[in-house]
Amino acid sequence: GQQLNQSPQSMFIQEGEDVSMNCTSSSIFNTWLWYKQDPGEGPVLLIALYKAGELTSNGRLTAQFGITRKDSFLNISASIPSDVGIYFCAALNNDMRFGAGTRLTVKP
Amino acid sequence: KAGVTQTPRYLIKTRGQQVTLSCSPISGHRSVSWYQQTPGQGLQFLFEYFSETQRNKGNFPGRFSGRQFSNSRSEMNVSTLELGDSALYLCASSLNPSSNYEQYFGPGTRLTVT
The tens-digit pLDDT sequence of chain A (108 residues) is 447 999 999 999 999 999 999 999 999 998 999 999 998 889 999 999 999 999 999 999 999 999 999 999 999 999 999 999 999 999 987 778 899 999 999 998
Point out which residues pair with A80 in neighbouring strands. none
Would you tell me which residues 58-77 of chain B have a C-beta closer than 8 angstroms to some C-beta of chain A?
Answer: 58-59
pLDDT of amino acid B100: 56
pLDDT of amino acid A96: 80
**Given pLDDT bands bounded at 50, 70 and 90, which one contains residue B101?**
low
Mean pLDDT of B15-36: 96
A40/B107 Cβ within 8 A:
yes
**Given pLDDT bands bounded at 50, 70 and 90, which one contains residue B17?**
very high
pLDDT of amino acid A3: 76
Mutation test of the interface with chain A: which of B1, B31, B103, B110, choosing the one with the most A Cβ atoms within 10 A?
Answer: B103
Partners of B108 on chain A (C-beta within 8 Å) are: 40-42
pLDDT of amino acid A86: 95
Lowest mean pLDDT among A29-33, A88-92, B77-81, B96-100: B96-100
Backbone angles phi, psi at A8, to 5 degrees: -75, 170
pLDDT of amino acid B1: 63
- The CA R_g of chain B, rounded to the nearest whole Å, is 13
Nearest CB to B45 within list A31, A88, A96: A96
Q: Do B69 and B52 form a contact (C-beta atoms < 8 A)?
A: yes
Q: How close B80 comes to chain A (CA, Å)? A: 25
Q: Distance between CA B71 and CA B24 in Å, rounded? A: 9
pLDDT of amino acid A79: 97
What distance lies between CA A76 and its chain's CA centroid? 10
A100/B56 Cβ within 8 A:
no
B26-73 pLDDT, tens per residue?
999 999 999 999 987 888 999 999 999 999 898 999 999 999 999 999
Q: How close A40 comes to chain B (CA, Å)? A: 7
Q: Distance between CA B11 and CA B9 in Å, rounded? A: 7
